């Protein structure tokens, strides 16, 4: 009886995965967002569904702050003190962005990221989860830029390449 239930649930999950993939590939915004490494169909659809129009945010940092991916500021007397991540924003998109960032970090640790790149330098100094939140912050800023400019993802420019 339990095996039959597992088989039934597996078929339902596969059907939902196929529907999500179809929806994300037919709409323009999710298709555009999926050109960024770490952004899959679920994250792309979540941004399109839950996020307000990107015109409401003046900068990419404002969108990242709305997601809760920026450090809290405890500043006084002109001295800036940055604390832990605020986690005050949209929980679903933040979780999927961090999950996508962890996938990019796992890929980079297995295959190796280009030496001297931002991600490789960050992984040398910080634990993987801290690096994932920093990468998710960077991804959020990139998502904002992609949607406000109406462009696909452009990878980082390599110096000397």
Per-residue pLDDT of the chain (161 residues; tens, 9 = 90+): 999 999 999 999 999 999 998 988 888 899 999 999 999 999 999 999 899 999 899 999 899 989 988 876 666 777 665 556 656 667 889 999 999 999 999 998 888 777 778 888 888 898 999 999 999 999 999 999 999 998 888 877 654 44
- Sort 86 into a burial class: Cβ within 10 Å, 0-12 / 13-18 / 19+: middle
| 103-109 long-range Cβ contacts below 8 angstroms, 24+ apart | 103/38, 104/37, 104/38, 104/135, 105/131, 105/132, 105/135, 107/37
Contacts for 46 with CB less than 8 Å, ≥ 6 apart: 92, 93, 96
pTM above 0.75, yes or no: yes
Question: For the chain, which residues make up each domain, given as ranges?
Answer: 2-149
């Amino acid at each position: 009886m339990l095996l039959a239930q597992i088989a039934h649930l597996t078929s339902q999950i596969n059907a939902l995965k196929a529907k999500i993939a179809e929806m994300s590939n037919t709409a323009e915004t999710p298709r555009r967002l999926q050109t960024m490494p770490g952004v899959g169909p679920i994250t792309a659809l979540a941004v399109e569904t839950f996020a307000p129009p990107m015109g409401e945010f003046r900068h990419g940092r404002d969108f990242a702050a709305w997601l809760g991916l920026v450090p809290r500021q405890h500043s006084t007397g002109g001295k800036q003190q940055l604390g832990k991540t605020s986690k005050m924003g949209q929980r679903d998109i933040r979780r999927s962005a961090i999950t996508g960032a962890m996938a990019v970090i796992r890929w980079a640790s297995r295959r190796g990221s280009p030496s001297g790149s931002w991600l490789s330098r960050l992984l040398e100094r910080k634990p993987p989860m801290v690096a994932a939140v920093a990468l998710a912050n960077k991804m959020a800023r990139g998502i904002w830029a992609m949607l406000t400019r109406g462009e696909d993802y452009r990878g980082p420019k390599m110096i000397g390449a």
